Amino acid sequence: MGRITLEKVQKKFGETEVIPPLDLTIEDGEFVVFVGPSGCGKSTLLRLIAGLEDVSGGDIKIDGTPATDLPPAKRRLAMVFQSYALYPHMTVRKNIAFPLKMAGMDEAEKTRRVERAAEVLNLTNFLDRRPGQLSGGQRQRVAIGRAIVREPAAFLFDEPLSNLDAALRVGMRLEISELHERLKTTMIYVTHDQVEAMTMADKIVVLRAGHIEQVGSPLDLYRTPRNRFVAEFIGSPKMNVIDGEEAAHRDAHAIGIRPEHIDVGEGQWEGRVGVSEHLGSDTLFHVHDTGLADVITVRAPGEVNYKSGDAIRLSPQTDKIHRFDDKGLRIA
- Which pLDDT belongs to residue 81? 86
User: Alpha-carbon distance 137 to 168, whole Å?
Assistant: 6
Domains of the chain in start order, with CATH, are: 4-230 (3.40.50.300), 237-331 (2.40.50.140)
Which class for 280: exposed (0-12), middle (13-18), buried (19 or more C-beta within 10 A)?
exposed
DSSP helix/strand/coil, 204:
strand
DSSP string, 55-77: -SEEEEEETTEE-TTS-GGGTTE
Taking only the tens of pLDDT, the chain with its 332 residues reads: 689 999 999 999 999 999 999 999 999 999 999 999 999 999 999 999 999 999 999 999 999 999 999 999 899 999 998 887 899 999 999 999 999 988 888 899 999 999 999 998 889 999 999 999 998 889 989 999 999 999 899 999 999 888 788 888 888 899 899 999 999 999 999 999 888 999 999 999 999 999 999 999 999 999 999 999 999 999 989 999 999 999 999 999 999 999 999 999 889 999 999 999 999 999 999 999 999 999 999 999 988 889 999 999 999 999 999 999 999 999 98
Q: Parallel, antiparallel, or unpaired for β 186-191 and 154-158?
A: parallel
State the sign of the Cα–Cα–Cα–Cα dihedral 102, 29, 72, 189: positive
**What digits encode the pLDDT tens for the residues 60-99?**
999 999 999 999 989 999 999 888 789 999 999 999 999 9
Q: How far is CA 115 from the centre of its chain?
A: 30
What pTM, to 2 d.p., does this model score?
0.91
Q: Is 246 in contact with 234 (CB distance < 8 Å)?
A: no
- Which pLDDT belongs to residue 84? 79
DSSP string, 254-312: EEEE-GGGEEEEEEEEEEEEEEEEE-SSEEEEEEE--SSSS-EEEEEETT----TT-EE
State the sign of the Cα–Cα–Cα–Cα dihedral 96, 100, 102, 105: negative
**What digits encode the pLDDT tens for the residues 204-217?**
999 999 999 999 99
